[in-house]
Amino acid sequence: MRLSRLRVVATKEFHDHLTSRRFLLIAVLLLLVVSIGLVGGMINYRTAVDRYAGTIGTVGESSADPGSATGVSLLDVFNSVGEQILLIGAILGIAMGFDLVTREKEGGSLKLLLSHPIYRDEVINGKGLGGIGAIAGLIFVTFAVVLGVLLAFGVVPDGYEAFALVVLGIATLLLVVSYFSVALFISTISRTGGTALVAALVVFIVLSSLLPVFVDPNVVGVFMGPPPAPPSLSPPGLAGTQSVGAVEPALVPGSGNGSDVTGIEESQRYERELQAYEERRLSLEGVISLFSPTLNFRQVMRELNTPVLTSVASAGTGSGLPDESPAEPEAPMASVPNVVESILPNLIALLVIPALFFGLAYARFMRMDIR
């Protein structure tokens, strides 16, 4: 493979994407949705902060970090546009990739191109790189707009928020690239652009709508079988009703006779079995989730927001005022290593999915008979 020829193809593809109406339309849509969502989110954010500042003024306290103290975070604002980014990003990836090969096959330019002194891997890699470059450019512009809106509202992200913003940008890039590579692969196996589009949309629906169904606890339960049954106990030993998923001890020690001891042992065994069942269910959910770019992206967003959500929960949501005493230790805002650890499998999956589909597209393209 020669870099000069790879660059020629990649540059042309990059230029084609940037000048295509399809790309421009979706890009404008993405920027509009993100900007509008962000402005709306920022207005809510400012309102919450102002309300908190007014309350503090009444109480006579101040905070160096009103955002965190109110339990309102910039990440909530990002979260509000996350679903739109998810949907438009997936559509963008599919729109960019589904006819990259079929269009050239149908138009006759692929035959012409490959009759030149160029290797096929230079063509398919160039197509991939050009597409990824265009996606990266758009994501960069989008997040620059996000930053611009934040600064326009006079909000400077703190360290964790800046970190979250960068991770979100990377996850968005990987999400779009994932769907782009899926669509590119479909383009290599389809005869026409129309077929490729339908196939890509079916895959998109499977990955974004059907796969999440399998992550639902009830559906996962169907595959795993019923949870362990609670022990049947005599009424005097029963402290409360048992419910599936409850891991608190359900029994209180009785008078110390033999049947109570047996009951406690059975209860403990049940707890262990239930806990093991839950762990299996969660790991199965996690494994299924890894196959979907959509679920991985959602998981990354959730994990990035989790510390903040904890803070909101601890701060109370009714009035925006903390309902705990100031002496009560606040929930930890964010531990970057912990967040990285929790999102790492999803980020790796978001790297592996495009690599896998691009590998399939590559293999198919290399063996394709150009007739």
Partner 1 sequence: MMITFERLRKEYDGVAAVDDLSLEIPRGEVFGLLGPNGAGKTTTILMLVGLIQPTSGRCLVDGIDVALEPIAVKRRMGFMPDDVGFYENMTAEQNLAYFAAIYDLPRAVRAERIADVLERLDLGGLDKKVGGYSRGMVQRLGIAKILLNDPDVLVLDEPTANLDPLCVAEYREIVRSLRAEGRTVVVSSHILSEVAKVCTSVAILARGRLVASGSVTDLPFRLAQTAGGMAIRVETRSPIPELDHPSILAAEYDANRCRARFQVTDDVRDWLVDQLRNAGVTIRELAVEEPSLEEVFMRYYHAT
Q: What share of the chain is helix, strand, coil (3-state, %, to 5)?
A: 75, 0, 25
Q: Which of 108, 225, 226, 337 binds partner 1 (CB under 8 A)?
A: 108
Q: Which of 56, 87, 91, 113 binds partner 1 (CB under 8 A)?
A: 113
For tokens 């290399």, the residue is: 366
Q: Which residue stretch of 159-167, 219-227, 236-244, 363-371 sits at the interface with partner 1 (rule: CB under 8 A)?
A: 363-371
Q: Which of 22, 111, 191, 272 binds partner 1 (CB under 8 A)?
A: 111
Rounded alpha-carbon distances, angstroms, from residue 209 to 139, 263, 265, 355: 24, 44, 43, 22
Mask for 20-49, x = binds partner 1 (CB under 8 A): x-----------------------------
- How many Cβ atoms are within 10 Å of 25's Cβ, its own excluded? 12
Of 91, 103, 69, nearest to 138 by C-alpha is: 91
Q: Which residue stretch of 37-45, 103-111, 156-164, 225-233 sits at the interface with partner 1 (rule: CB under 8 A)?
A: 103-111
Nearer to partner 1, 113 or 244 (CB): 113
Q: Which of 107, 217, 245, 359 binds partner 1 (CB under 8 A)?
A: 107
Count of residues in contact with partner 1, rule CB under 8 A: 22
Yes or no: say if 103 and 193 are a contact pair by the CB < 8 Å rule: yes
Alpha-carbon dihedral 162, 355, 98, 214, rounded to 10 degrees: -80
Q: Distance (Å, rounded) from C-alpha 324 to C-alpha 23?
A: 50
Distance of closest approach, residue 5 Cβ to partner 1, in angstroms: 6
H/E element, 270: helix 258-290
Interaction between residue 192 and partner 1 (CB under 8 A) = no
Sign, Cα dihedral of 299, 301, 304, 306:
negative
Nearer to partner 1, 45 or 98 (CB): 98
Interaction between residue 115 and partner 1 (CB under 8 A) = yes
Nearer to partner 1, 118 or 211 (CB): 118
Q: Which residue stretch of 2-10, 76-84, 198-206, 212-220 sits at the interface with partner 1 (rule: CB under 8 A)?
A: 2-10
- SS3 state of residue 325: coil
Interface residues with partner 1 (CB under 8 A) are: 4-5, 8, 12, 16, 19-20, 107-109, 111-119, 369-371
